Amino acid sequence: MDRVETNEITGAEAMVRMLQAHGVTHMFGLCGDTTLPFYDALARLDHGITHLLTRDERHAGYMADGYARVTGKPGVCEGPSGGGATHILPGVVEANESSIPILAITTDVATGSRGRYPLTELDQVALFRPLTKWNASLDQPARLPAMLRAAFRAMTTGRPGAVHLALPFDTQKAPVGAEDIWADPRHRSFPAEPAAPDPAAVVAAADLLAQAKAAVAICGGGPVIAGAEAALARLAELLDLPVATSVSGQGSIAETAPQAVGVVGSNGGHAATRAVVDAADLVLFIGCRAGSVTTERWRSPPPGRAVIHIDSDPMVIGANYPTDVAIAADARLALEALVAELEARGPLPAQGGTARAKAAWDAKLGDLAPLATSDTAPIRPERVIATLSRLLDADAIVVADPGTPCPYMSAQYRLRRAGRQVFSNRAHGALGYAISAAMGAHVGRPEVKTVALTGDGSFGFCVGELETLVRHRMPITIVVFSNAAFGWIKAGQESGFGKRYYNVDFSRTDHAAVAAAYGLKSWRVEAPDALEPALRAALADGGPTLLDVICQPLHEAAAPVSEWIA
């Protein structure tokens, strides 16, 4: 166990030392009255933690989320009592439902003030209870170190998730025993203490796979979180098994791998990728909840297929499909065990994955090609993604907001390597995520290029963080898909409600001018032939940049969203 030697300390100092002991090097947050002792401890102590002041607690949460996704370390965010605690909630719940460990610390009024109507009082533990994996109030100063250890243990073990700690003002000033300042280094990263599979379940899964004639794997975010990419690639090679992913599962396998099918489901899927799933006689879900989007509301795969389900959360298994073999285990350990079992059996029947995956990609890219090269204005979103695909290095990080950018990225941006390279907030889909999460990702992986894709609706949720971006000189490129509407909702009104467009349109903003006012180098792009030169310049610049791209609106587009196509 790693210990940090100190003299007698206050609760605020103990919080700093416990974060230091757990290997925290960056945190994101916003100051407030109840935070003063904590900030003073951060100012005085030598701890090696860089604190990034944000302009909104929600975006501090999103930054911690993006940081955790690309580093494999818990993200840490903080905010004050009252409004700070309520503002930080969207980032906390998104991370928790996405199995991303972040620690949210919200300072609080003194325990002796409770019930006396102090400014900013609210029941923080009750507020965060349904939104976190674990949460508590640090009412007893002597228990603060133990509660911090419990928080890191909770968020990194089992199914990772978000935790919350309320830090009362009087606890921050109270004495804490220095001898209890230590951390378990296993909980500095995730997944910690992964669970191994039941050997009997592994044998049963291998039996079914050996009997199948047209199996398919569908991966959620679990393989990337678990670091299971190599084991998955070996399984695909061993069986010539086609591997599809959800949006969150992108990166489980390089999408240029012979057996990679790409994204399936209602957001970013295609008729040809759906056909691969529907034709399967066995479906292997890996770290995937088989939710409404991935399965197109539980229509694909159709009922009656054999199902093997691997997940670190046993409550996920069997929730949506009858399951023949359940493997409640870490995705990496389960796949490694399954590969070892299959390799020991000798020659195995091939599942035709290479041919099936190639046919799916050929059909999908064939449909996209005319749109990706279109010279029509407003600019087609497909052309934006195609240009990005040509210009970005294989190790670039791309973060997409859940509106206009997400389906195009999911369908068209073909990952050339496995691992966490692209992501979106697919659990709750709140607008305004991409720019802040990209900032957190850049802090975690500063050596690669990071790009944020956002709609103009999302841009309005987070414009203040452009100042944070400039203050820290982060060389992030932001691409705004500007269509002057909440496009996803307008497309839904187009397809399902008789084109009755109600309260979804707003005036067009000159996002390039707004960005320039904050200090970013920016371009406004309206002509298709101006897109690539502007994007090249933005990506090559050494500072923060923004492209305001006047795009075709979603309700007029051929977006890869099955409910609109239908």
What gap in Å lies between CA 378 and CA 367, rounded to an integer? 19
User: Based on the number of CB atoms within 10 Å of its own CB, is 323 exposed (0-12), middle (13-18) or buried (19 or more)?
Assistant: middle
Order of strands across the sheet that contains 282-286: 260-263, 243-245, 215-219, 282-286, 306-311, 325-328
Q: Where in the chain is the domain with CATH 3.40.50.970?
A: 2-188, 373-565
Region 2-188: CATH code: 3.40.50.970
Structure tokens at 312: 């670190």
What is the predicted pLDDT for the residue at 324?
98
Q: Which of 499, 496, 485, 500 is nearest to 550 (CA)?
A: 485
What gap in Å lies between CA 69 and CA 455, rounded to an integer? 22
Q: Which residues contact 314 (CB under 8 A, 6 or more apart)?
A: 326, 328
Residue 332 in this model has a pLDDT that exceeds 70: yes
Write the DSSP string, 38-106: HHHHHHHS---PEEEE-S-HHHHHHHHHHHHHHHSS-EEEEE-STHHHHHTHHHHHHHHHTT--EEEEE
Q: Which residues contact 116 (CB under 8 A, 6 or more apart)?
A: none
Pairing verdict, β 182-183 and 215-219? unpaired
Sign of CA dihedral 29, 30, 31, 33: negative
Residue 128 in this model has a pLDDT that exceeds 60: yes
Reported as a single tens digit per residue, the pLDDT across 496-540 is 899 999 999 999 999 999 999 999 999 999 999 999 999 999 999
What gap in Å lies between CA 152 and CA 21, rounded to an integer? 11
Rounded to two decimals, what is the model's pTM?
0.96
Task: Fold for 199-356, please state it.
Answer: Rossmann fold (3.40.50)
Reported as a single tens digit per residue, the pLDDT across 286-313 is 999 999 999 999 999 999 999 999 999 9
What is the predicted pLDDT for the residue at 2?
59
What is the predicted pLDDT for the residue at 117?
93
| Mean pLDDT value of segment 211-233 | 97
Q: Where do we find the tokens 């794997």? A: 217
Please tell me the total number of residues recorded for the chain in this structure: 566
What is the predicted pLDDT for the residue at 553?
87
Residue 217 in this model has a pLDDT that exceeds 90: yes
What is the predicted pLDDT for the residue at 5?
52
Residue 323 in this model has a pLDDT that exceeds 80: yes
| CA angle (559, 363, 307) in 5-degree steps | 90
Superfamily of structural domain 373-565:
Thiamin diphosphate (ThDP)-binding fold, Pyr/PP domains (3.40.50.970)
What is the predicted pLDDT for the residue at 560?
82
In which band, very low, low, confident or very high, does the pLDDT at 130 lie, cut at 50, 70 and 90? very high
Answer yes or no: are the C-beta atoms of 208 and 282 closer than 8 Å.
Answer: yes
Residue 330, CB half-sphere, CA atoms under 13 Å: how many?
22
The three-state DSSP-derived secondary structure of 23-37 is: CCCEEEECCCHHHHH
Residue 4 in this model has a pLDDT that exceeds 60: no
DSSP alpha helix (H) spans, 427-510: 434-444, 456-462, 465-471, 487-496
Residue 64 in this model has a pLDDT that exceeds 90: yes
What is the predicted pLDDT for the residue at 564?
76
Round the average pLDDT of the chain to a whole number and report it: 95
Q: Where in the chain is the domain with CATH 3.40.50.1220?
A: 199-356
CA distances for 290 relative to 105, 161, 215, 265, 439, angstroms: 32, 19, 16, 10, 30
Residue 246 in this model has a pLDDT that exceeds 90: yes
In which band, very low, low, confident or very high, does the pLDDT at 3 lie, cut at 50, 70 and 90? low
What is the predicted pLDDT for the residue at 386?
96
Answer yes or no: are the C-beta atoms of 480 and 403 closer than 8 Å.
Answer: no
Cα of 221 vs its chain's centroid, Å: 9
Residue 221 in this model has a pLDDT that exceeds 90: yes
In which band, very low, low, confident or very high, does the pLDDT at 87 lie, cut at 50, 70 and 90? very high
Determine which of 198-202, 405-409, 540-544 has the lowest per-residue pLDDT on average: 405-409
Reported as a single tens digit per residue, the pLDDT across 47-60 is 999 999 999 999 99
What is the predicted pLDDT for the residue at 566?
58
521 sits in which H/E element: strand 521-525
Reported as a single tens digit per residue, the pLDDT across 335-368 is 999 999 999 998 898 999 999 999 999 999 999 9
In which band, very low, low, confident or very high, does the pLDDT at 381 lie, cut at 50, 70 and 90? very high
What is the predicted pLDDT for the residue at 495?
87
